[in-house]
Amino acid sequence: MSDNLKVAVRLRPFNEREKSRSSRLIINMNGGTTIISDPDDKYPDKKFTFDFSYWSHDGYRERDDGYLEPADQRYADQTKVFDDLGRGVLENAWKGFNCSLFAYGQTGSGKSYSMVGFDSNKGIIPITCEELFKGIAERKQTDEDEKEAEYQVSVSMLEIYNETVKDLLNISSFKKGGLKVREHPQKGFYVEQLQVSPVSDYAAIEGRIAEGTRNRTLAAT
C-alpha cells in the first residue's frame, strides 16, 4: 500500500430500478480484492486489487431486540471508510502536506453518499471537518508552543461538470461560462476567482456546504 496514494472502491446497495429488475449481483469482495463475474457465465471472473474494497451492498438489519447489526460482516459503514481514508488525509494535512481526496464514478454510484453523506449519516468530509476543529482545540489546550498559534480554516466549493468549473459559493460564476483553471509556478494548479470563505467552526462549514449544495441544484438548471 502506497503512503502517498490510496485507492478504494465501494459497493453500494441496489437502487429501486435495479431491485425492480431483479438484478443479479456480479460483484464480490475479499479483503482489498474486487471480483467481477460475467453475468452470462461465459468468461472467468476478473479480479482487481485496490488498497480497500468496501462492501456496503447490504446495509444493517434489525434484530428481534431492535438492535441494528450489519447484515454482512464485511459491511463497511461511514466510520470505517473515514478511518481508513479520511483520517490519514487529515494527519498528513497536520504535517503540512497538501492533500486531496476525490470520488469518481457514474451518476448514482454513491459519490455524495461516501463524501458528504446524508443528515446524521455523515460522510468523509463532515467527519474530517469535525475532527479538524477538535484537533485545533486539543492542540491549543495541550501543546505549550501551540497555545499562541493562530489557525485559519477556509472553505471553497466548486463543481466541474462537462468541463465547466462552477463556483458553488458564488452563483454569478455560473453565467460566465465557468471559471478558469490556471497553474502557478510555486503553488501549482488553482481556480481563478474561486471564493475562499473563512470559517471558525464546523457549523459554519455545514452552512457553506448546504449553500453550495443548494446552488448546485441551480447550476444543474
Q: Which stretch binds ligand ATP (CB under 6 A): 61-69, 90-98, 108-116, 197-205?
A: 108-116
| Of 28, 109, 164, 197, the one binding ligand ATP by CB under 6 A | 109
Query: Which DSSP helix (H) or strand (E) runs through 153?
Result: strand 153-155
φ, ψ of residue 27 to 5 degrees: the values are: -110, 135
Rounded to the nearest whole angstrom, what is the least distance from the CB of residue 44 to ligand ATP in the complex? 28
Cα–Cα distance between 190 and 182 in angstroms, integer?
Answer: 6
- The DSSP bridge pattern shows strands 181-184 and 188-191 to be antiparallel
| Of 12, 74, 87, 139, the one binding ligand ATP by CB under 6 A | 12
Cα 176 off chain centre by? 28
Q: Which of helix, strand or coil describes residue 210?
A: helix
Rounded to the nearest whole angstrom, what is the least distance from the CB of residue 80 to ligand ATP in the complex? 11
Q: Is 105 in the site for ligand ATP (CB under 6 A)?
A: yes
- Which CB atom, from 28 or from 112, has the smaller least distance to ligand ATP? 112
Is position 195 annotated in a ligand binding site? Answer: no
- Which CB atom, from 29 or from 133, has the smaller least distance to ligand ATP? 29
Rounded to the nearest whole angstrom, what is the least distance from the CB of residue 163 to ligand ATP in the complex? 16
Give the interface size with ligand ATP as a residue count (CB under 6 A): 14
Report the amino acid identity of residue 6: K
| Of 108, 160, 176, 182, the one binding ligand ATP by CB under 6 A | 108
Is position 207 annotated in a ligand binding site? Answer: no
The answer to whether 103 touches 111, Cβ cutoff 8 Å, is: yes
Is position 110 annotated in a ligand binding site? Answer: yes
The answer to whether 201 touches 133, Cβ cutoff 8 Å, is: yes
DSSP for residue 169 = T
Q: Which residue is nearest to ligand ATP (CB)?
A: 110
Cα 162 off chain centre by? 20
Rounded to the nearest whole angstrom, what is the least distance from the CB of residue 186 to ligand ATP in the complex? 34
Cα–Cα distance between 117 and 141 in angstroms, integer?
Answer: 31
Q: Is 53 in the site for ligand ATP (CB under 6 A)?
A: no
Footprint of ligand ATP (CB under 6 A): 10, 12-13, 15, 56, 59, 105, 107-113
